[in-house]
Amino acid sequence: MALDSSPTMTLPDLEARRERLLRVLPEAEWELLRPTLAAIEDWKRQRNAIVLAHNYQTPEIFHGAADLTGDSLALAQQAAATDAEVIVLAGVHFMAETAKIINPAKTVLIPDPAAGCTLADAVTGADVRLLRERYPDTPVVTYVNTSAEVKAESDICCTSSNAVEVVESLGVPRVIFLPDEYLGRYVASQTDVEVILWKGHCIVHERFTPEEIGRFRAAYDGQLEVLAHPECPPQVLAAADYVGSTSGMVRHLETAPSPRVLLVTECSMSDNVAVNYPDREFVRPCNLCPYMKRITLPKILESLIHLRYEVTVDPEIAARARRAVERMLVVGRGRGG
């Protein structure tokens, strides 16, 4: 294939992105970003590629470069549905691996292979095998924030938007839930199914405290709606008005007209959502995910130009992991988002 790196993105496309970005970025910054954004569009066309971006990516990626955006479940669903030959995953490694598991014949790229996740690092395939010995005949439900090897050892995957429904879909009295302790506790609070927990935590969400939320409520005289991600500790969830996945928060905002909201989750989430709600105030006590922030516009461009870094999964592991992911996709989206 002949490749041409000159930026040829049509003006109306770039204008639409500019219009959205100028709601969160100054004009001067847009002018600096414009050549890179135009080159990314051009290379996407030449490669028959799409950029999938998680809700925690920075606005210049989320609004400036992504073709499809969403939470972990939406990214998996979109990866399953795309006709593009190349998928660039602007997110973290487990998301790219999930896209590859669903699409073994496609080229899946992650712009920085060091974009990891503390939850994915918290459990191994060997841990799952040991748990199965300890709790025979107990199904293993695994959060998508895990490696392909762990998914391959699991009965079914889930995301924060469908964890309760996935657990209940099994029709059993007890499940092993890996690796997020707090999401597992949240699931246990919403169902009669007994949940055996693991001690994995997200470094972003475990740092929020109920005292912090209390201080914000006091500062705004209670005129504040608090939306929290279920990866937060139980005391934080108890102090929130709504609990749900990142896309669950987006959907909740569409129906709830609160003029001032606090999103208890990663920093970029509020920046991205605020673009759609110029009349609402977003209070931003955020924690940054250092893994999500490894992805940048120049790295996305390099990824498209050099087709790097390609995500590969051993075919035997991928086949077993695919069963767990596809079983989850049949359950779909639940109440949490």
Q: Which is nearer to ligand SF4, 78 or 146 (CB)?
A: 146
21/187 with CB nearer ligand SF4: 187
Question: Which residues, other chains included, contact 99 with Cβ-Cβ below 8 Å and sequence gap of 6+?
Answer: 52, 75, 76, 79, 87, 89, 106, 108, 311
118 binds, among ligand 13P, ligand SF4, none (CB under 5 to 8 A by kind): ligand SF4
- Does 188 participate in binding ligand SF4 (rule CB under 6 A)? no
Beta strands 242-243; 225-228: pairing state: parallel
117 contributes a contact to ligand SF4 by CB under 6 A: yes
Q: Give the SS3 label for residue 193.
A: coil
A 10 A CB-CB count for 10 gives: 9
Say how many residues touch ligand SF4, by CB under 6 A: 13
Cβ burial of 88 (10 Å; 0-12, 13-18, 19+) is buried
What is the smallest separation between the CB atom of 105 and ligand SF4, expressed in angstroms?
A: 26
Build a one-symbol-per-residue string for 126-145: x at contacts with ligand SF4 by CB under 6 A, - elsewhere.
-------------------x
Q: Quick one: 33 or 169, whose CB is closer to ligand 13P?
A: 169
Answer whether 138's CB lies under 8 Å from 163's CB.
no
Q: Does 181 bind ligand SF4 (CB under 6 A)?
A: no
Structure tokens at 273: 């959502």
The one of ligand 13P, ligand SF4, none whose footprint includes residue 224, by CB under 5 to 8 A per kind, is none
92 binds ligand SF4 (CB under 6 A): yes
Q: Interacting stretch for ligand SF4, rule CB under 6 A, among 163-171, 181-189, 286-294, 308-316?
A: 286-294
In the three-class reduction of DSSP (H, G, I as helix; E, B as strand; rest coil), residue 281 is classed as: strand
